[in-house]
């Protein structure tokens, strides 16, 4: 990714999401507060009527439902072509996955190499995959949290940008632990994008380099 400075134009971000969009909202709020030098140029969802699209409309951000068909768990084939066209049209420099419940495949990863980021509700490499907070409780770990990372071909295996931790309490349920992790997600995601927007976090030789 091209080196940026604090005086650079706003980082142009496109967001892909499948659900409520609370992490997307944390980015919208950070931009509005002037703490993140970025512009969200498009919000796209694979779920028709997803709340994340309502958030976009309330804030006047261009948004669209984009079908993921014919696949249920990945963006591939015709769907990948649709997404690539939409992302190119909105001029996105960085793609942000915010609760996007599909696997991003090779053409998207190649087109935006080192420029797709994701947030995962665990301290990776621990507990990749779905419902990480439930995995943490079953394992009996005393520390959970969230990770913002660049996306690669693996499942939650990309280079780590930032992590934030929370304790696992003796009386935690999956719901209470997940809620506490989400509080940290809403801090971590804007911070990670701030590092990228300011040119202080890039990917080089499959590693994150921070200035």
Q: Residue 13: which of 203, 206, 194 has the closest Cα?
A: 194
Residue 48 corresponds to which tokens in the numbers above? 């028709």
- Per the CB < 8 A criterion, the answer to whether 45 and 53 are in contact is yes
> What is the spatial distance between Cα 70 and Cα 22, in angstroms, rounded to a whole number?
27
From the list 59, 106, 120, 149, the catalytic residue is 120
**Annotation marks residue 120 as catalytic:** yes
Residues contacting 45, CB < 8 A, separation 6+:
16, 17, 18, 52, 53, 63, 64, 65, 66
Residue 158: strand, helix, or coil:
coil
Q: Catalytic amino acids? A: 120
């Amino acid at each position: 990714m091209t080196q940026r400075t604090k005086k650079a134009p706003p980082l142009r971000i496109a967001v892909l999401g499948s659900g409520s969009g609370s992490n997307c909202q944390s980015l919208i709020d950070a931009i509005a507060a002037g703490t993140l030098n970025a512009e969200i140029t498009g919000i796209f969802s694979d779920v028709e009527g997803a709340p994340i699209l309502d958030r976009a409309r309330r804030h006047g951000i261009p948004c669209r439902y984009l079908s993921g068909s014919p696949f249920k768990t990945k963006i591939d084939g015709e769907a990948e072509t649709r997404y690539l066209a939409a992302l190119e049209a909105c001029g996105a420099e960085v793609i942000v996955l915010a609760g996007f419940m599909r696997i991003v495949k090779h053409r998207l990863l190649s087109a935006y190499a080192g420029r797709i980021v994701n947030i995962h509700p665990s301290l990776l490499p621990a507990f990749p995959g779905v419902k990480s907070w439930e995995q943490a409780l079953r394992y009996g770990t005393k520390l959970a949290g969230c990770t913002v990372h660049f996306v690669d071909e693996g499942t939650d295996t990309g280079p780590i940008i930032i992590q934030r931790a929370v304790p696992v309490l003796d009386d935690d349920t999956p719901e209470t632990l997940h809620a506490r992790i989400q509080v940290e997600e809403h801090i971590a995601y804007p911070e990670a994008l701030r590092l990228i927007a300011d040119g202080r976090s890039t990917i080089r030789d499959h590693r994150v380099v921070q200035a």
